[in-house]
Amino acid sequence: MAPASEGAPRRILIDTDPGVDDAMAIFYALASRELEVVGLTTVFGNAHVEVCTANAIRILDIAGRPDIPVAQGAARPLAMPYRGPADFVHGANGLADVTLPPPSRAPHPLDAAHFIIEQVDAAPGEITLVPVGPLTNIALAFLLRPDLPSKLAGIVLMGGNAFVPGNASPAAEANILNDPEAADLVLGADCPITMCGLDVTEATVMSSAQIATISEMGNPRARLAAQILPFYRDFHVAHGGPDGIHVHDSTCISYLLAPQHYGVRHHPVRVDTGWSVGRGKTWPTTRHALSEGPWAGRRAVTILTEVDAPAVVALELTRLSRP
């Protein structure tokens, strides 16, 4: 993928479940002139979808972007009950239990799947979907409109673990485990797909020292980030992680801006949708061609496998510091 250009901004639609790291990714995108955020759609995940929707609107309020629509989406996965919010990771309100003003407006009248369809139909070949939560809304849009993938510029998603262990189970990454059926459908779509998974996100750490610098930046985005990141950092430290945070959702934005900082491999990917210990595992095939079996006929996914972590963390911090 060529890096996005400030001269011709890449149009993106972020599907999100805010979430501390979701807020960081949204702020990062909004601070990057190479990207035009055409809308946010919300999905269950880090919190119930109604909470995620309110948070998405609050994030845009803080960023001074009331012009960006927010459409509420799926409240549960395609084929199973919702596993419940990740309070211990993101706080009961999804944003580290920081008290925030109520959202300034109601969500868009269309549900997320129909909003995605509307946006893509209005600009065929121009929209890149950036899902950073469970893939339910994207799957629903594709089920409603099987031709929709052919009208996308592509998908750059946060989720999966190709060659490393999971984080929500030994097998699976959290976003994929929240709706494996949706993930398997989306990863089989016939459009360019990039999987920004744990292979690189857990290798990308924003340190406590770097987090401390955010409070000095002064802009409204940075002020909220400085309030919510310590809670997220404390979760990482308490669970044997780094003295800092893994940079999950923002990896999608870094890849759009600076793909040269990543190493990639190209393989078709299936998701384990069974009901045993492997549920939610993303399985790439490393065979060049399989004429039959579960991977047959599926397009290769671009899988991020290596990262220049200092470079991408520095880029995110630089963008967050913009007025």
Q: Which residues are catalytic?
A: 17, 248
> 16 has which bridge partners?
42
Q: In sequence order, what are the residues at sequence separation of 6 or more whose Cβ sits closer than 8 angstroms to the Cβ of residue 47? A: 17, 18, 19, 55, 85, 86, 90, 93, 94
Instruction: Please tell me the distance from the alpha carbon of residue 171 to that of residue 152, in angstroms, as a whole number.
Output: 30
Sign of the torsion formed by the C-alpha atoms of 239, 159, 246 and 85: negative
Whose tokens are 């963008």? That residue is 319
How many angstroms separate the Cα of 207 from the Cα of each of 25, 167, 229?
17, 19, 11
Instruction: Please tell me the distance from the alpha carbon of residue 208 to that of residue 192, in angstroms, as a whole number.
Output: 35
